[in-house]
Chains A and B, each alone.
Chain A
Amino acid sequence: MAGRFTHGRMLTLVAALGLCCCAPSGLAADDKRALHQSSADRLFTLRVLPLLKAKCFACHGGDAKKVRGGLNLLTRADMLKGGDSGEATLVAGKPEQSALYRAVTWGDPDLEMPPKENDRLSKAEVEIIRKWIAAGAPWPNEAARKRIQEAEWSVIENEDGRIVTTSGGTSQEWTYRRYEPADLWAFEPVQPKAKLLPQHVKPGDAIDYFVNRRLVDRQVKPAGQASPRVLLRRAALDLTGLPPTPQEIQQFEAAWSRDAEKAWAELVDRLLASPRYGERWARHWLDVTRYADTGGMSNDFERSNMWRYRDYVIRAFNQDKPYKRFIVEQLAGDELADLSVLERVDGNWKAVHKAQLDGDYNEQEAEWIVATGFLRLGPWDNAMVKKEEARQIYLDDLVNITGQTFLAQTLRCCKCHDHKFDPIPTRDYYRIYAAFATTHMAERPVPFTSSESQERFDTGRAHLQRMLDFAVAEKNKLVEKREAAALAWFKAHNLLYKNQQQRRNLPDEQKPPRHVGLNHIEQGQLKVREQDEWIWRRRLERYEPMAQSVYNAPSFSLAWNGARKLRIRRNAKPQPVPQQHILSGGALTARGDVVQPGVLSGIGLPVNAAADDPFLVTPAVAGRRLALAEWIADDGNSLTTRAIVNRIWQYHFGVGIAANANNFGAKGGKPTHPALLDYLATDFVENGWRIKRMHRLIMMSDAYRRRSAPADAALVNRIDPNNQLLSYYRSRRLSAEELRDGVLAITGELVHADGGVPVMPEINMEVALQPRMIQFSLAPAYQPSRTPHERNRRTIYAYHVRGQADPFTELFNQPNPNESCELRESASVTPQVFTLLNSETMTDRSIALALRLQRESKTLPEQVDRAFQLVLGRGATTSERKRLTTYVGDMQAYHSRVKPTPTVYPTKITRSLVEEFSGRPFEYEEILPIFEKYQADNKPTDVSPRTRALADLCLLLFNTNEFMYVQ
């Protein structure tokens, strides 16, 4: 946890102001008093008054009727007067008698001010209040305060800290406030290599130079190098998310014994070249950017083409796309495509807009547009949300996710106010907000590229078409029944029949009741079928050449249920570009200063150094995001480059060099090895922003290759319990994906694919069929893919529904996609045990492995040994082999007496729902055609007691710590 507001600095100030000790002894008493007075005036102006403003005036300053407890602190006279309690708030010269002082010390549980833990004064701040009261609580007038203030502001750095130049806060106090230099580490330029690394150190040894330097300092001996087997498993899981096979282990150990260094370097290269690498590292990126195939909230509408973005990310990692380009494409790929088209059509914007509507793009342009899926990843639905507010929610999300993802900054704080801790004014938040203000969501026509997989399109489409046809047929039956009754009604009233649309606005007397001819059950059913029709039409768009993307336009319009279909919509007439204001407190109605689109000003990196305001980007409708993206991806952007190398480091070592990968601000963890972080950032930029190169650099270090047990555990526990010095490798639990994918790989069931539409793995059947409320209806049941070949694929390709997480991956801490996840949880909680021991999926995997063992080995002891090889990457010890052979034998005796029950797959289910309007329950039938010709995995009933007994052993091994942890 980060420290509270720095105490040391405040104490320095008090000392500097000469209040602690008396003035020089040679002075006359009057002079002493005068000097004392001026110091106290300064203390009040520079410290006390800002504190009162920040912490007290909200409740105790202002309108006499509104102040809490009748206590106003706005003026010295008010303070002396006190509040309702009758206690003396301020007794000049006597802090202990002043309630003001006693309140801020939090000594008396009945008198703790400010009342919030978050606002509580630090010790140093309490001391300031004390000193001020002790000095007679002077309250200089405004002119005097201004003089003191201006004198202070003219000094950029003093013992109180540093003033950071920004585009300016909403108050001068904020603009000129001082920061502890240590808190500004991320805002400072990255140090050049020459300053960081002594000439005698070879670049290849840089990491160990920085790490070992600290170990030597603290006299901690690092752990030795881990065994080749451990290193292989570590590297394979880190880079590909899959455990090594027994054959790979054997080969690697042999290569290692010939030439360890060479074997290791070749291994790293081989793993980086594997297509499995991108599948593993893309998942890290999707954690940060919050990937899901649906939009969440009320309707949880499918974002049918989001899978193309997922595959784009996988390809980007596999191709080692320079990170610089990766940034620009995700933030402004559509603008790159527009510019590319513009060139083709001789600068004709109309033609560019036409290309947008026709999806007339080459492969590169298509890829760029798909990349902007990044701008569509947040949960969003405007159902029952006012148009302007829905828009604000979207834009705020973009600003916030851009800040966290690329800049490691928590910008959302600045939606309402200037940043409390970091040099980010609310103005900068709204400048970036304005940079997104012409961005609009749309599903756009974008042709498939040759690198995109269109596998399983036919079977998938046929299945969805069947679901759609069923919904439409059921709907039509009900509509026909209603309209027949309507027709009869019109006839009976001697009126001409009008269909539902035509009669909508007629007075009540001239038309039949709304649901004429339908009872409440049929009314409910009709609504369900109408929703279903939408749902299946929407899902069929998975197979269309479309992309979840954005486009630029000055203004926007939004249907009440806009999230269900977002298309490019342009006004015929040119629209004015709306002005962006600072919104005080984030309220749409509280318009402050007008702002132009721009970037963060606090790191001093200009967009255009020659401009009047160097931190602004173009105010035109198009080009704002591209300019922002290019600024983020600038070689000199210290936030960006440190953020990415820190993330890469974190995924190798479990913790970043700076512990909060999404927050490099004052409240985030400070870098444990700042010089190393800078070295890596510089090296990254100098070598073309290549991520694979960074992996090599890290993995070739000794620091990465250490054993997981400290050399001297007692010493390390005492002086470095959190392993900040990296004296040993921090072991980690398998992630949800490593667990599921790893088990499938070990059983031999894993099917590799190069992307494509989401696959539907089997998930817990109760959850799959669990009804789930959406607006007006229930979401359809989850149906797994029909064959093992289609469904047993890597977890990254699974369908990710915001409203229905796979309980297996969720339990093992796959993050909720509503918030950016900088680092996953990995706590052991009991429900994980239930899943690993009892779930159908683990039972099935254990049987699959048992069958594999029986295929590959003859005798039971050999099978036990093979199981150890496959699951744990080592043979069983003699005693293990003996003990577990006995175990399997005993279990065989057990299973020969017990008969499992067969699994039954329903082909339809009856749903019950309370009709939203009538409050009465009704039922309807839902079909599950997938299960009609379902190819199940091998079940306990399909195999012999002998296999089931062997499966018990396999399940045990999958449950061991040795399997679940990477050492």
Chain B
Amino acid sequence: MSIDHSRRRALFGLGASLGSVAFSSMLRAEDRAARAPLTPKPPMHRARAKNVIMLFMEGGPGHMDTFDPKPALTRMHKKESKLPYGLETGFKFFVGSPFGFRKVGDAGIEMCDQWKHLADPYIANELCNFRGCQAESLNHPEALFHMNTGSRLGGDPAVGAWASYGLGTVNQNLPGYVVMTELALPQGGPTNWGSGFLPPHYQGTRLRPEGSPILDLAPPAYKSRQHQRRALDELARLNADHLKSLGGKSQALQARMSSYELAFRMQAEVPGVVDLSNEKPATLDMYGVNESETGQFGRQCLMARRLVERGVRFVQIFSGGWDSHDYLERGHSARIKSVDKPMAALIRDLKQRGMLDDTLVIWTGEFGRTPDNNKRGGVYSLGRGHNNRAMTMLLAGGGVKPGIVGATDELGSSAVENVHPIRDLHVTLLHLLGLDDNKLTFFHAGRYKQLSQFGGKLIHEMIA
């Protein structure tokens, strides 16, 4: 900014008094009304978690290659499979996991040998491994929609939208529901974090991994913050005069006026969240921020902690590449490597800061993988198909009981104990947040709609 001092005072002094003091006090009541959709609301019952961080492994991690060992498969490796499930056709053969397994922590969570950091008992003791969940769809976007919105069709509100709808959010300068993805969007795109029929305030806001964290957050470089302040003050004056000409009252117009002031505050707040330069080097190292394999996911996990710290209700991180139809060993070991250290760091960090009790961390894919595979291009491909009857997930903190819940059959082909459809997971998740899925409803298209679509059961076994 290079306008001389006295001139600047003349310019911005007037503006500031209009925009920041007189004008905003005039609008205070309506300002609150405009923000009402996101003001914090009390839970319906005792909440075990205030926030959620959901780590979404897009593509569907193989349960038998991560947390649910199947020695029987190793014995039957490459033997013909007659299992009738999945969409693979023709000759199918069993695929043993390329990884060894061991039990870690007090609860004896079984982890493949690729998990190095998560296996630290300090972390592992916090984990609940749920093996009873069943998806419905066999294809990525539908299954992603199902896990994220409760409906396979896409277009319904996302879990995070329901949570913000039910609880509002603590920090009014940040969105209540934040999503981080890789550079490439997951299949189905923003429909995975949409607000569906809920008002648009509840939709997930994507913090972009590169470029501007929120689209068009900052003005073009040649317009300074003072330049923008002046513009906003002039705008406020035009809008105030216009409002007066209409008789002085209009909730919609006033809400829109205050959204400019909120935007101006967000412009200051959001870059601070994204800027990791004031984190200690040890913290950055712990998350693997400076390593090539873990850099992106590590940064996002650290960002997730910072967002939750600042009162963001629901954070979701998508990490892809788990769809190992072939080259399972290479694929899964590389994927595990990219998330192992950051996840462990996140749980450790939350625990050390006393935030884990209030923060529910979930690690899941959209479905699991099959014990068998078909030939690809005529050769034995060591990979797995999509499995909607069995999968694996990890949960930590936020009122979750460490240990193993549920079981899959000997081959990992289907969940057999503590079997629950996705809607039960959703019901449980809301329950931990102090929300009752049956009461968290929104009237739309002729009925009271809810996340679980038509109700579900609590998974008591995973609740502490």
Residues of A with Cβ closer than 8 Å to B? 1-2, 109, 115-118, 296-298, 379, 383-386, 410, 413, 420-421, 500, 503-506, 508, 511, 513-515, 520, 660, 662-663, 665, 667-668, 708-709, 713, 731, 733, 764, 766-767, 770-775, 778, 803-805, 807, 813, 816, 818-819, 825-835, 837-840, 843, 880, 883-884, 887, 890-891, 893-895, 897-901, 912-920, 940, 948, 952, 955-957, 959-962, 964-965, 967
Contacts and interface: CB of A to CB of B under 8 A. Distances in A.
B239 A961 contact: yes
Interface stretch (B115-123, B217-225, B340-348, B416-424): B217-225
A483 to B, nearest CB: 13
Given A828-B255, A917-B331, A297 B141 contact: yes
8 contacts: A2-B443, A115-B438, A773-B320, A828-B256, A828-B259, A835-B216, A898-B222, A916-B325
| Highest count of chain B CB atoms <10 Å: which of A383, A667, A961 | A961
A837 B228 contact: yes
Given A838-B220, A920-B330, 5 more contacts: A514-B379, A818-B191, A880-B238, A890-B3, A893-B3
A300 B219 CA distance: 33
A914 B321 contact: yes
A901 B257 contact: no
Contacts of A520: 327, 330
B31 interface: no
A115 B456 CA distance: 10
B63 interface: no
Contacts of A384: 87, 137-140, 386
A818 B154 contact: yes
A850 to B, nearest CB: 14
Contacts of B263: 830, 833-834, 837
A421 B139 contact: no
Contacts of B326: 917-918
B184 A956 contact: no
Contact of A831 (B205, B255, B381, B455): B205
A890 B11 contact: yes
A839 B438 contact: no
Contacts of B253: 961, 965
Contacts of A731: 250, 252
A733 B137 CA distance: 40
A901 B249 CA distance: 42
Nearest to B442: A1
Nearest to B226: A894
Contact of A913 (B11, B184, B189, B215): B184
A887 B215 contact: no
A912 B438 contact: no
Contacts of B443: 1-2, 667
B295 interface: no
Given A825-B199, A828-B252, A767 B259 contact: no
A833 B261 CA distance: 9
B32 interface: no
Contact of A956 (B137, B185, B220, B235): B235
A118 B450 contact: yes
A770 B183 contact: yes
B333 interface: yes
Contact of A827 (B190, B200, B246, B327): B200
Nearest to A898: B222
Interface stretch (B126-134, B206-214, B271-279, B302-310): B206-214
Given A917-B327, A918-B330, A962-B242, A771 B183 contact: yes
Contact of A834 (B141, B214, B327, B380): B214
B243 interface: yes
B77 interface: no
B311 to A, nearest CB: 16
Nearest to B376: A514
Nearest to B439: A117
The dominant DSSP class at the B interface is: loop
Contacts of A663: 445-446
Contacts of A513: 379
B299 interface: no
A728 B335 CA distance: 61
B332 interface: yes
Nearest to A416: B454
B38 to A, nearest CB: 10
A897 B222 CA distance: 10
Contacts of B322: 919
Contacts of B332: 919
B246 A709 contact: yes
B218 A838 contact: yes
A298 B191 CA distance: 12
A67 B183 CA distance: 49
B266 interface: yes
Given A731-B250, A773-B185, A838-B220, A829 B215 contact: no
Contacts of B11: 890
A413 B249 CA distance: 41
A6 to B, nearest CB: 16
Contacts of A503: 378
Contact of A764 (B215, B231, B237, B334): B215
A465 to B, nearest CB: 27
Contacts of B353: none
A771 B331 CA distance: 21
Contacts of A379: 153-154
Contacts of A298: 139-141, 187
B257 A961 contact: yes
| Highest count of chain A CB atoms <10 Å: which of B228, B253, B450 | B253
In the complex, the 10 A-B pairs of residues with the closest C-beta atoms, listed nearest first: A919-B331, A384-B139, A917-B326, A914-B321, A833-B263, A771-B184, A514-B377, A900-B222, A828-B256, A116-B438
A834 B187 contact: no
A770 B215 CA distance: 12
A665 B446 contact: yes
B405 interface: no
B389 to A, nearest CB: 14
Given A807-B215, A894-B227, A914-B320, A900 B138 contact: no
Contacts of A840: 220
Contact of B139 (A296, A385, A819, A960): A385
Contacts of B259: 828-830, 832-833
B187 A775 contact: yes
B351 interface: no
